[in-house]
Amino acid sequence: MVPPGSPVMLYGLGMIGALILLVACFNFTNLATARAMLRAREIALRKCAGARRSQIVLQFLGESLLTAFLALVLAFSLTEMLLPAYDRFLQRPIALHYFEDWRLIALIVAIAAAAGLVSGFYPALVLSRFRPAPVLRANEAGHTGSSRLRSVLVILQFTVAIGLAIVTLVVFTQIDFMRQQSLGFRRDNVLVVSTYRRMTDAARESFVAELRRHPGVLEVAQSADIPFSGSEYLAQMRLPGHPEYLSMLKQLITPEYFRLYDIRLLAGRYLSDAHGEDRIKNPLPPDNDGRNIMINRAAAARFGFAPAQAIGKTVLFGPSRVTIVGVVADARINGARDPARAFTESLPPSTACQRFSPCNAAQPEPSKRRLQDS
């Protein structure tokens, strides 16, 4: 029900990759600058032989680019070796086609070249400004550049590394929290079969009965909507004597819905086909007076009741007076990011429902749960 891919996740991973690359550039710059003392005499002799500073800068930039491209070749080699293991981890194939994906390859090469130039630019300036006479006389580089800048780079490098470690810890904690968090309903091993406008009522009931006879099916239920669909059917409700209507989500279900999704009953009873007054008519005419509904804990709280206090209370459901016979636990049917919403739940109408065109907007859809090993 949710489109694949997340721009936030994609940009987040891109930023992490950019920070890791930045740490590598800082590290290369520091190491190249530190090696200046070992190459001081080489640079001094080249200058004595007539080399200009621009030539020395180009030499060291070329060495930086060569290092970056060698690292890129090593990265491609590691990618080819590790991709099969990563495919098994993700349980789906991921392939890098060098000729078909030439735009991606070109972008990677450009990033490697930019990293080589950026990380080698400052060392090239430092190494190319040595004065030959002092270096040859003292056999050392002397002041090789701004030690303050090198200290800043080291601080930035460790800052980014510590920040990435903290982010990793936070993400791990969030993933662990997400895995252990209960949404208030069972969501695994559920198969949804859409019968919207595809079956008559008699055919649907026959189909549901056939599913119940299957040995691999634990429960079958029908509902106007399913979890994670993102659709919303609203109902206006209020307490008698209160002028303000409260907007709540409406769900038309069959009694097996709560067992299928394992939604816990907090107070009262579940809806049942044995009680004729448990069935709401559609559309909502005034003759729904005396019918029964169920609500969740969030809806009871909006009415100002605890779950046990809401049982037996009369509320206005559209123009009709209906009675609350049960309160169930909150279920976050749109995922962990969506807070628990106020819900009212009722049985769908009988087969005469299809005579009314507004009923089609809430036509029940069967759902079934299979055993894990089926």
What are the DSSP calls for 56-109, one per residue? HHHHHHHHHHHHHHHHHHHHHHHHHHHHHHHHHHHTS-----TTTTHHHHHHHH
Per domain, the residue ranges of the chain are 7-180, 190-370
- Alpha-carbon distance of 246 to 344, in angstroms, equals 11
The mean-pLDDT minimum among 100-104, 344-348, 363-367, 368-372 falls in 368-372
Best CA proximity match to 355, nearest among 281, 291, 287: 281
346 or 177, which is more confident: 177
| Res. 73 pLDDT band, cuts 50 70 90 | very high
Angle 303-306-307 from CA coordinates, rounded to 5°: 100
- State yes or no: pLDDT of 373 exceeds 60: no
Is residue 299 scored above 80 in pLDDT?
Answer: yes
What is this structure's pTM?
A: 0.53
Whole-angstrom distance, CA of residue 327 vs CA of residue 340: 14
C-alpha–C-alpha distance, residues 181 and 340, integer Å? 13
Radius of gyration of the chain (CA): 34
CA-to-CA distance for 233 and 182, rounded, in angstroms?
24
Over range 212-236, report the average pLDDT: 80
314 three-state secondary structure: strand
Is residue 374 scored above 60 in pLDDT?
Answer: no
The more confidently predicted of residues 353 and 144 is: 144
Each residue's pLDDT tens digit, 129-160 = 767 666 566 655 454 445 677 778 788 888 88
Does position 30 have pLDDT exceeding 60, yes or no?
A: yes
The CA-atom distances, in angstroms, between 221 and each of 68, 225, 228, 236 are 60, 11, 17, 25
Q: Which two tokens stand for residue 146?
A: 């701004």
Q: Report the pLDDT value the prediction gives residue 286, as an integer from 0 to 100.
A: 63
Show Cβ contacts of residue 193 under 8 Å, excluding neighbours closer than 6 positions.
Answer: 365, 366, 367, 368
